[in-house]
Amino acid sequence: MDQRVSVITLGVADLGRAREFYQALGWRQGNDEADDVAFFQAGGMVFALWDRAMLAEDSAVSDAGGWGGVTLAHNAGSAEAVDKIINEARAAGAVIGREPARTFWGGYSGVFIDPDGHPWEVAHNPGWTLRADGTIGLGTG
């Protein structure tokens, strides 16, 4: 199994509401909006929104409700960029779980929670390499 992730799918209660939230952050859906799943090309991978009950069934799991141990992060090039994105999320209706601040690991981050309760950390990590194309590398090499 190659060391990579191809798709992240978030289960949502209302596809239209979830799509509008990500669109308000500037994201653009890559497939037909009439489809019952929304795909967003996210760099070299795909980010998807799908009905949570259907996702649970398709994933062969029981849905515990609430958060289940997965957090996404979006890295930005500076503390100022983190502040800007957290404010965009706030304007789009997200709950801000943690206002941006310096972190114990030497970076700067905040957390927003999307309309379905999925948390996103928005972080600036000076110990990693964030390239112009948005890809990220461990270390500063």
Rounded Cα distance, 46 and 28, in Å? 12
In the chain the first and final C-alpha atoms are separated, in Å, by 26
Rounded Cα distance, 57 and 76, in Å? 34
Q: Min. distance of Cβ 78 from a second copy in angstroms?
A: 13
- Give me the amino acid identity at 114: D
x/- letters, 106..125, toward a second copy (CB under 8 A): -----x-x--xxxx-xxx--
Count of residues that bind a second copy according to CB under 8 A: 72
Q: Min. distance of Cβ 48 from a second copy in angstroms?
A: 8
Rounded Cα distance, 115 and 92, in Å? 10
Among 21, 38, 40, 79, contact with a second copy (rule: CB under 8 A): 40
Q: Min. distance of Cβ 9 from a second copy in angstroms?
A: 5
Smaller CB separation from a second copy, 16 or 135 = 135
Which tokens belong to 135?
């890809």
User: What part of residues 42-101 is at the interface with a second copy (CB under 8 A)?
Assistant: 42-47, 52, 55-56, 58-75, 85, 88-89, 97-98
Q: Min. distance of Cβ 128 from a second copy in angstroms?
A: 8
The answer to whether 21 and 12 are in contact (CB under 8 A) is: no
